[in-house]
Structure 1
Amino acid sequence: MKVDDMSSHSSHKAQLRWWQLSIAILLMAMVSACKPEPKPMTAGITGYNFTHEGVQNYSVDEMYGSNLPPYGGGGALSCCILLPAQWKPELRATVHWTIGDWTVPYEQIENLSTKEQIRCCWSQRTLTKTVPIEPYDEEAGKLQVFFLPDDEIKVYVFPAGPQNPDHPSHMGYPKNPNPPTDKEK
C-alpha cells in the first residue's frame, strides 16, 4: 500500500468512526426521548391544624378533606388526588378552606338554641390559596395540608404524619401553645 493510499485509508476510517459515533449518539437520544413518563401516583388527603380555630371543611384541587379540630388532625384519609411520580419545582396545589370558632366561651351561650348561638357568636372565614407542594420522593405517601397561624398553608407529601422524626416539616403533631388549665376545663 502506498503512502497516499494509507492516508486516504486513515481518513476514510476516521470518517467512518465519526459517522458511527454520530449514529450512536442519535440512537441514544432517541431511546431516552422515547422513555415513558412515570405513571402518576394516587395519594389520600389528610390535614393537620396548627391553629386555635376549627377547619370546618377544605379541599385540595377540588378534592375534599375532612373537618379538623383546633390543634389536631390526621386520622382517616379522604380520597384522592393524582400527583406526578416525580416532584417538580413548579408543582402547586390550590387549597380552599373554611375556618372558624366561637367568639365567646361556649358556657355563655349553651342555653341558646343552635341558630341563636350561631347568629350571635360564630365567626368563620372562607379562604383560597395556591401554594407550592414541598419536595417529595417516589415513596410519597399521603398529601398532607398543614393549616398554620395567620392563614398560612403548607402542603407535604409523606407516608407518615408530622410526629415522625423524618417528616420534612420537623414540626411534630399540632399542640395547643396555651392549653386550658384544670380550672378552665
Structure 2
Amino acid sequence: MSRNKLLAFIISTLALLSGCQSMADEATIGVPGRVVNTDRSIIILNASLNGSGVSGTGGQECCMSIPAKWKPGMTATLSWTKDPSPDINPDGKSAPVIKNGISTPEWKAWMANHRKNYRTIEKTIPLPKYGETCGVTFIFLPCDGIRIVIDCDEKYSLFKDLPGGKEFYAELARRAGGAKTCR
C-alpha cells in the first residue's frame, strides 16, 4: 500500500471512529444503506449514521457499519447534506442548459455558486430498535423530517403494498409519520 493510500485509510478510519461515541466498544456489522427522499422539492446529496454513510442517489449501497446488536439507550449521530433549491442559485439564476451532456464553463461557474445552497444538518437520535436487519434506510420526509429504518420487519411493513407512480412518495411519507405542513 502506498504511503498516500495508507494515510488516507488512517484518516478515514479515525473520522469514522470519532463519530461513534455512544457505540464505542460495540461489535459492529457491515450492512447496505439506502436513501429514499419523499420530499420532491429537495435533493439529498448524502446521509450518514455515526460517520458511516451513503450517497443520496436512492440505490442501495454497501457498506455501512452499525452495532451487531441493538441495546436500549443507544444513540447515533445522524447527518445529511441537502440541496434545498436544486434548480436555482442563491442569486436567483436558473441552471444553464447542458448541451450534448458536456459541462460548459457557464455550467461549471453556475455549479460553483450553486453549492452555496447546500445545507448540512446533524441530529443526535435514539438508535431505532432492530432485530434482524436489512440495512439502514434513510427516509427523508417533508420539513426536514427523517425516519431511520434498520429492522427488516419494520421496513417490510412500511414498504408493503405501496402504490406506484406519483402516490408512492406521498403514501410512504404518510406511513413514516411525515409532517403535512411545515411550521
Report percent identity of matched pairs.
21
The 5 A counterparts of 1:144-155 are 144-155=137-148
Between structure 1 and structure 2, the one with the greater Rg is: 1
Tell me the CA shift for residue 65 of structure 1. 0.4
| Partner SS for 2:118 | strand
1:55 aligns with: 44
Offset of 1:107 from its aligned partner?
7.3
C-alpha distance in 1 between matches for 2:95 and 2:51: 37
The separation in 2 between residues aligned to 1:99 and 1:79, in whole angstroms, is 21
Matched positions, count: 130
Distance 2:143 2:82 in 1: 12
The equivalent residue for 1:140 is 133
Within the alignment, does 1:156 sit opposite 2:156 as a pair? Answer: no
Q: Which residue identity does 1:62 align to in structure 2? A: G
Superposition RMSD in Å:
3.6
Alpha-carbon displacement from aligned partner over 1:8-63 (angstroms, at most 9, x marks no partner)? xxxxxxxxxxxxxxxxxxxxxxxxxxxxxx96543222221121211112222111
Given the two structures, how large is their TM-score scaled by the length of structure 1? Answer: 0.55
- Quote how far apart the aligned CAs of 1:157 are: 0.6
Deviation at 1:81, TM superposition (A): 0.9
Name the structure with the higher helix share.
2
Q: Which runs of 4+ in 1 moved over 6 A?
A: 104-108
For 2:62, the equivalent position in structure 1 comes to: 78
TM-score by length of 2: 0.55
